[in-house]
Amino acid sequence: MLSKTAEYALRAVTCMASRMGEPTSAEELAAATQVPRRYLHRVLQDLAAAGLVRSRSGPGGGYEVAKEPTEIAILDIVDSVSPMERIRSCPLGIKSHKKLCPLHAELDRVYAAAEAAFAGVTVQQLLESADPIIPLRSGE
């Protein structure tokens, strides 16, 4: 359901949010998130264009989140790099289908539920989860 780009963006923002106040270089982000560095640059550009991250140049520079983690929902991240496409009309182009057929209507309901779920979870909630597994960190 989510593209690889969206997965990479979620990893990057979660990583940066866990290091609030500490800009992180693209190289460090790529290593921490296991995202190919060249691909990560494109993802970071999209996130910056959406106002979710910013870059600082010079010594001690790097990338950081541009908003508080409490203000960034998973859906914001996904929508900034690879929006989920809702089904508004017959994907087959059948002219007699003035509304969605049962199959496509159900698929669209699933997409709507996923959007609502992603809108209801912030990056801060991910970081504060009671789960003993910490995002992007090994348990060693």
Whether 48 maps to a domain, the answer reads yes
Question: Is position 132 within any domain?
Answer: no
Residue 140 resides in a domain: no
For 6-15, the pLDDT digits (tens) are: 999 999 999 9
- 133 in a structural domain: no
Reported as a single tens digit per residue, the pLDDT across 82-106 is 998 888 888 887 888 888 888 888 8
Query: Domain of 71: which CATH number?
Result: 1.10.10.10
Q: Per the domain annotation, does 14 fall within a domain? A: yes
**Whole-model pTM?**
0.85
Q: 68: how many CB neighbours lie within 10 A of its CB? A: 12
How far apart CA 126 and CA 16 sit, in angstroms, is 13
Identify whether 44 is part of a domain.
Answer: yes
**Domain span holding position 71:** 4-127
Say how many domains are in the chain.
Answer: 1
Element at 78 (helix H, strand E) = helix 74-81
